[in-house]
């Protein structure tokens, strides 16, 4: 297995040709020695791997470790480190050693190693050291350095040491070049890296030994939604752009290049989203852009809370080197956000023009993109031109990272200007506050193009006259309505009334639907039944409609008199009861005459 690692000189790091961009490493294992230690076991380790105790090579006398506040020490004199009198080079058996083994199903990449080092003898050039790994059977140095009398820390970064599930990675710190009085002490040994998918382990194993395949760092952005760049919200539409380059000779190709990509959740050790692009070939010196777009609508509860990393893994066959399998990958950490708020997703509405008087259906999914249950929610729909003014839709309760369905219908009114209208859907909580996501209000806009059947087919004038000047409570009144077609073509009309329900129980129109030629007029009769106990000025409207739309309205005001005794006797039937009243009066007159006669004769 090949490593793209250069030696660390004077404790400075030279980056690999292969860079892992944008992802910080986590601590995998530590060995924090101190004066009270009795064993050299690891102080801590990741729950998904096993870290060994520190040991020494067979060239160093075992069992003679000493511990101090500075760490773990083995002396040259007693423990057989290579002395200066020998060749100033590594002896294979003189080293400190640790190992890590991932648990079944878990894969890691080690990105950095650090440790403190100290040498006790100032009379010599002090102890030299080198770090090697089992990845290439300890054949070459990862880094080199020299310990001094003042404790210092060596940090070896930009590593890419793959450790697959149940494999073991062993690291050795070799000491050499000391004298008989020398001691070599190390402390605070730390291995850092990350959990990765198995595809990354395979990629590192294949490698790019000829350094001819390059994958650019990932350019992340949000096309639609509330996130931006590397900060994403559930249901965002995301772009990931990169470039694959083949730097081989122009006479050859990198064949069957396949780009696998996706989002990996380190918390669950699983891909949340994974896919691959159609394979392609590249001639030497050429490159190809890879543009990915996807929506964060799968397992949004995991996306909102997980440790998410974006990957692009390119594999190919290098024709210049007998089709050797080649692989490079890049990764970028994503910061996932969530809000205890509702948003609309998957908005569906007519994407072609609708006509006036047509019924429109708008549907959507209402998502809770937070980890709290949201209760008693509702939506307000608004567009004044379309007759939608704070029209309320009850949503109810929606659990965390769950969704509900929205379905809303309305009829496009007549008489509109033919253009695009924007209908606003605003989501509110139980406190009547609009939800906010990333400092933006939860307003969702639906563009609606209206065209056709909008012109009102006729125009008209209207007037009204009462048939009687006496308007009495409990009685009927008759209004003559005169309608004139003021347009230039024949039109259909309908006469109706509104605004009378507070003082009249009914309004009956005789022959209220009719057709008029241009300039022609027609009278229709409207009868209103006035309620008992009504008095004073009362109002109502006479409406004239054409093609389903109101073309003119005539307000009417009348003064109602309260009914007297005689009126209450006569009632609404008029003369039908009048004979009964005359008869009753005659009976009263006869009784009065009899009473007078009796009084006269009694005297």
pLDDT of residue 447: 97
Q: Do domains 200-336 and 460-565 have the same CATH topology?
A: yes
pLDDT of residue 148: 77
pLDDT over 90 at 599, yes or no: no
pLDDT in tens, 523-560: 999 999 999 999 999 999 999 988 777 888 999 999 99
Structural domain 200-336, CATH architecture: Sandwich (2.60)
Q: 529 — phi, psi (to 5°)?
A: -95, 110
- Rounded Cα distance, 163 and 184, in Å: 29
| Structural tokens at position 555 | 């307000």
pLDDT of residue 175: 83
Q: How big is the CA angle at 504 (ends 501 and 508), to the nearest 5 degrees? A: 95
3-class DSSP state of 490: coil
pLDDT in tens, 497-528: 999 999 999 999 999 999 999 999 999 999 99
Annotated domain spans of the chain: 26-195, 200-336, 342-449, 460-565
Q: At which residue do the structure tokens 């030629």 appear?
A: 517
CB 344 within 8 A of CB 33: no
Contacts of 511 (CB under 8 A, 6+ apart): 524, 525
Confidence of residue 603 (pLDDT cuts 50, 70, 90): low
The topology (CATH level 3) of 342-449 is Immunoglobulin-like (2.60.40)
- Rounded Cα distance, 59 and 82, in Å: 9
Q: Kindly report the average pLDDT of the chain as a whole number.
A: 85
Residue ranges of alpha helices (H) inside 256-365 are 300-305
- Rounded Cα distance, 243 and 213, in Å: 11
Most confident by average pLDDT, 29-38, 445-454, 556-565: 445-454
pLDDT over 70 at 276, yes or no: yes
CB 104 within 8 A of CB 165: yes
- Rounded Cα distance, 16 and 110, in Å: 14
Q: 350 — phi, psi (to 5°)?
A: -60, 125
Kindly report the three-state secondary structure assignment for every residue of 142-155: CEEEECCCCCEEEE
Q: Which of 172, 80, 177 is nearest to 130 (CA)?
A: 172
Identify the CATH assignment for 460-565 out of 2.60.40.10, 3.40.50.970, 3.10.20.30, 3.30.1440.10.
2.60.40.10
CATH of domain 26-195: 2.60.120.260
| Structural tokens at position 347 | 């908005």
- Rounded Cα distance, 346 and 368, in Å: 14
Confidence of residue 261 (pLDDT cuts 50, 70, 90): very high
pLDDT in tens, 85-119: 445 677 778 888 999 999 999 999 999 999 988 87
């Amino acid at each position: 297995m090949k490593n793209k690692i250069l030696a660390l000189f004077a404790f400075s790091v030279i980056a690999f040709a292969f860079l892992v961009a944008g992802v910080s490493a986590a601590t995998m294992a530590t060995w924090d020695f101190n004066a009270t230690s009795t064993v050299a076991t690891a102080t801590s380790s990741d729950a998904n791997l096993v870290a060994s105790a520190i040991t020494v090579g067979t060239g160093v006398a075992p069992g003679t470790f000493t511990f101090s506040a500075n760490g773990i020490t083995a002396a040259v004199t007693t423990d057989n480190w290579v002395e200066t009198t020998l060749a100033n080079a590594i002896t294979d058996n003189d080293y400190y050693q640790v190992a890590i083994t991932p648990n079944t199903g878990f894969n890691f990449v080690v990105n950095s190693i650090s440790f403190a080092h100290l040498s006790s003898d100032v009379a010599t050039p002090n102890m030299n050291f080198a770090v090697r790994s089992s990845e290439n059977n300890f054949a070459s140095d990862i880094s080199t350095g020299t310990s001094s009398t003042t404790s210092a820390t060596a940090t070896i970064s930009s590593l890419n040491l793959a450790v697959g599930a149940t494999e073991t990675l062993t690291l050795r710190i070799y000491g050499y070049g000391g004298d008989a009085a020398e001691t070599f002490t190390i402390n605070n040994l730390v291995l850092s890296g990350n959990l990765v998918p198995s595809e990354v382990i395979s990629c590192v194993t294949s490698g790019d030994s000829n350094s001819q395949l390059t994958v650019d760092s990932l350019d992340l952005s949000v096309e639609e939604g509330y996130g931006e760049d590397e900060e994403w919200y559930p249901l965002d539409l995301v772009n990931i752009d990169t470039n694959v380059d083949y730097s081989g000779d122009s006479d050859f190709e990198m064949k069957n290049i396949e780009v696998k990509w996706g989002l990996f959740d380190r918390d669950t050790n699983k891909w949340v989203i994974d896919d691959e692009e159609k394979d392609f070939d590249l001639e030497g010196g050429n490159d190809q852009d890879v543009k990915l777009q996807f929506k964060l609508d799968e397992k949004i509860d995991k996306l909102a809370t997980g440790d998410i990393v974006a990957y692009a893994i390119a594999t190919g066959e290098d024709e210049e080197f007998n089709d050797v399998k080649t692989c490079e990958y890049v990764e970028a950490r994503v910061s996932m956000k969530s809000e205890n708020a509702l948003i609309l997703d998957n908005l569906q509405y007519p994407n072609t023009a609708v006509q006036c008087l047509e019924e429109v259906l708008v549907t959507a999914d209402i998502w809770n993109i937070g980890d709290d249950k949201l209760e008693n929610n509702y939506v307000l729909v608004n567009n004044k031109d379309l007759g939608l003014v704070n029209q309320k839709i009850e949503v109810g309760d929606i659990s965390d990272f769950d969704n509900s369905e929205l379905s809303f219908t309305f009829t496009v009114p007549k008489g509109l200007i033919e253009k695009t209208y924007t209908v606003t859907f605003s989501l509110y909580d139980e406190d009547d506050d609009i939800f906010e996501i990333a400092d933006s209000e939860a307003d969702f806009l639906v563009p609606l193009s209206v065209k056709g059947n909008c012109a009102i087919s006729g125009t008209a004038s209207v007037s009204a006259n009462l048939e009687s000047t006496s308007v009495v409570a409990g009685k009927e009144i008759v209004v003559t309505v005169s309608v004139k077609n003021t347009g230039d073509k024949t039109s259909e009309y309908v006469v109706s009334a509104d605004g009378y329900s507070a003082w009249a129980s009914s309004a009956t129109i005789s022959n209220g639907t009719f057709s008029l030629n241009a300039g022609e007029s027609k009278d229709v009769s409207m009868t209103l039944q006035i309620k008992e106990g009504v008095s004073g000025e009362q109002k109502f409207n006479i409406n004239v409609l054409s093609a389903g739309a109101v073309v003119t309205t005539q307000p009417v005001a009348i003064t109602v008199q309260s009914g007297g005794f005689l009126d209450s006797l006569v009632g609404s039937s008029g003369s039908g009861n009048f004979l009964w009243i005359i008869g009753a009066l005659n009976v009263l007159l006869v009784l009065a005459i009899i009473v007078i006669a009796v009084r006269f004769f009694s005297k």
